[in-house]
Amino acid sequence: MLGIVDYGMGNLFSVSKALERLGADSFISDDPKELSKATGIILPGVGSFRDAMSLLEKQGLDEFLKRYAAGGGYVLGICLGMQLLFDESEENGPAQGLSLIPGNVVRFQGMDASGHVYKVPHMGWNRLEFKHSSPVTAGLEADHVYFVHSYYVNTDEAYIAASATYAGEVPAIVAKGNVFGMQFHPEKSGQMGMSLLRNYLSLVEGKEKA
């Protein structure tokens, strides 16, 4: 059973509908006690890092997510939800994240190393390039997924399961043990996105059967 974290800044409907299409049992909640019963968590997010962390802290969801992950529970962050998994973001001044994966979140500069100007936010379809093996990418061939973001993660190569190219390499899928993140929107990324969610669901279902 997947628990979708409702803290006021997530695209809950599209995520829950995608899981429904996969035949997954899920529920939406802002209650840590209820979410603790889930065998897998999805942390969606759209908007400001600082505002999102403030809402998570207000509802005690930040400490819940840390305990849940430390206890071996599967966590998947989507878009802003992925960024929240890291240590810090420079958006609207330094703001502390959940520190489930080492790294920080920085803004696209609007110009690459060669002086080429590019649009911010990064919006549209980009091809994934798999970097390291991960349960969420197992058995899949690289394809395009849909991004909408102005900030990206700066983290160690060891945690980057897949990247995309936009004025340089952009971490697209991250993984550290039982914690995963997708910078793009898998629920809006066609068959590739559904396949990635299906792989995450398989992990959760495996834990349910164990």
88 is catalytic: no
| CA–CA distance, 127 with 24 (Å, rounded to integer) | 27
Segment (H or E) for 129? strand 129-130
| CA–CA distance, 138 with 72 (Å, rounded to integer) | 20
| CA–CA distance, 192 with 96 (Å, rounded to integer) | 32
149 is catalytic: no
Dig out the tokens for 119 from the structure. Answer: 């649009």
Q: Which of 91, 122, 149, 185 is catalytic?
A: 185
Q: Which of 79, 91, 122, 149 is catalytic?
A: 79
Segments in the chain forming alpha helices (H): 12-21, 32-35, 49-58, 61-70, 80-83, 190-209
Q: Which of 91, 122, 149, 187 is catalytic?
A: 187
143: Cβ contacts below 8 Å, ≥ 6 apart: 127, 128, 191, 192
Q: Which of 125, 130, 109 is nearest to 175 (CA)?
A: 130
Segment (H or E) for 58? helix 49-58
Give the amino acid at 80: L
187 is catalytic: yes
The residues that are catalytic are 79, 185, 187
